[in-house]
A and B are shown apart, each in its own frame.
Chain A
Amino acid sequence: MLHRPPRRAGGFRSRKASKPRHLRARANQRDRIQAMPIIFNVRGPVFVSEQAPLPSGAAVGGIPVFRANAGRSEALRKAFREQVEQWKSDTQHWSSVTKMLAHPSYLRIIGLARLSTGYEIERLLLQELEAEPDHWFDALVAITGENPVKPDYDFDSSVDAWLNWGRQKGIVSN
């Protein structure tokens, strides 16, 4: 006959309940992490783990969703391109740079720097600046923390200053 220890006062206790409280909280957290997709950036794009049920290329609330380990650079380029096209389309006829800088797509482009490794976002911006010069100067200052533009520079000089900066850093080629 199997000997069972006497039941403790307070009634039946589960296996989890038998653990100290701080260890129970840690176990619960681990369970929650394993169940949730890993979110790198909730302001978009969103990168999720392979375990997450969302298919690659899906969107949540209009924010594109990508796999964390599947073409991150390509995802960054795609997101960058989309925001650039939106910004250019919306601001083409505007006469105020102050308003252009406050456009949501311009701010999202600056936000993409958090997803960038090396000088990826800087390269994308400088390539865009060279191909179709536009008012990317404030974005570059915000992302790099540097400013090669002197106060008396006009638009063309400012473009040249940033492209030279990029060449000196090895980010873009001559």
Chain B
Amino acid sequence: MSGTFEPASKATARYNCIAFAAGDERHWWEGEGNGGRYSWPSRIRRVTTVETVCEIFVSEGFVETQNCEIEPGYEKVAIYAHLDTCEFSHVARSDGTVWKSKLGKGQDIHHYSLDVLEGDQSDEYGIVERILRRRIS
């Protein structure tokens, strides 16, 4: 990773980036589910892809946007995909003040731009594929 970020929690394998972006810090969210053990919205197809992760947030009132900047007054999610396979790799969320990411089984971090996590190194997540937002109520 390069750029500015700061750790915001201890590392834990309890939850992953999708759970964290959805506001759940007690469960690991994964479509494939390993026999249903992991959490996943029942209304969404049980496979973890850029499309299905997008659907999770669309169903929560998010709409797509091209604006990748932090916008006061808007919650946002940014969905990343691997550069080589275009498969889902990560999702970050913003509360209108900062981007927040759960790094796999690692820490949560706060970061001020999305490109901090872009790249093809082992601790990077490819490229931002989709951005969605909803107004903070």
Task: Select which of A93, A95, A133, A151 is within 8 A of B37 by beta carbon.
Answer: A151
Interface of A is mostly: loop
B94 interfacial contact with A, CB 8 Å: no
Decide if A138 touches B27 in the complex (CB within 8 Å). no
The complex places the Cα of A91 from the Cα of B37 at a distance, in Å, of 19
Shortest Cβ gap from A15 to chain B (Å): 63
A114 interfacial contact with B, CB 8 Å: no
Q: Which B residues are CB-close (under 8 A) to A137?
A: 37
B51 interfacial contact with A, CB 8 Å: no
Mark each residue of chain B from 33 to 57: 1 if its CB lies under 8 Å from any CB of chain A, else 0: 0101110000000001000000000
Q: Which B residues are CB-close (under 8 A) to A154?
A: 14, 26-27
B28 interfacial contact with A, CB 8 Å: yes
B96 interfacial contact with A, CB 8 Å: no
Listed in ascending order, the chain A residues whose CB lies under 8 Å from chain B are 90-98, 101, 133-135, 137-138, 149, 151, 154-156
Interface contacts (Cβ under 8 Å), in number, total 61
B30 interfacial contact with A, CB 8 Å: yes
Instruction: Determine which residue in A90, A92, A101 has the highest number of CB atoms from chain B within 10 A of its CB, and name it.
Output: A92
Decide if B123 touches A97 in the complex (CB within 8 Å). no
Instruction: Determine which residue in B17, B18, B122 has the highest number of CB atoms from chain A within 10 A of its CB, and name it.
Output: B122
Shortest Cβ gap from A104 to chain B (Å): 15
Interface of B is mostly: loop
Interface stretch among B68-76, B101-109, B129-137? B101-109
Given A155-B13, A155-B27, A97-B38 contact (CB < 8 Å)? yes
Q: Which B residues are CB-close (under 8 A) to A149?
A: 37
Decide if A93 touches B30 in the complex (CB within 8 Å). no
Given A151-B37, A154-B26, A95-B32 contact (CB < 8 Å)? no
Interface size class of B (residues with CB under 8 A): 20 to 34
Q: What are some 18 contacts across the A-B interface (CB < 8 A)?
A: A90-B122, A92-B11, A92-B106, A93-B103, A93-B106, A93-B122, A93-B125, A95-B30, A95-B48, A96-B32, A101-B34, A133-B13, A149-B37, A151-B36, A151-B37, A154-B26, A155-B13, A155-B26
The complex places the Cα of A83 from the Cα of B125 at a distance, in Å, of 24
Shortest Cβ gap from B56 to chain A (Å): 13
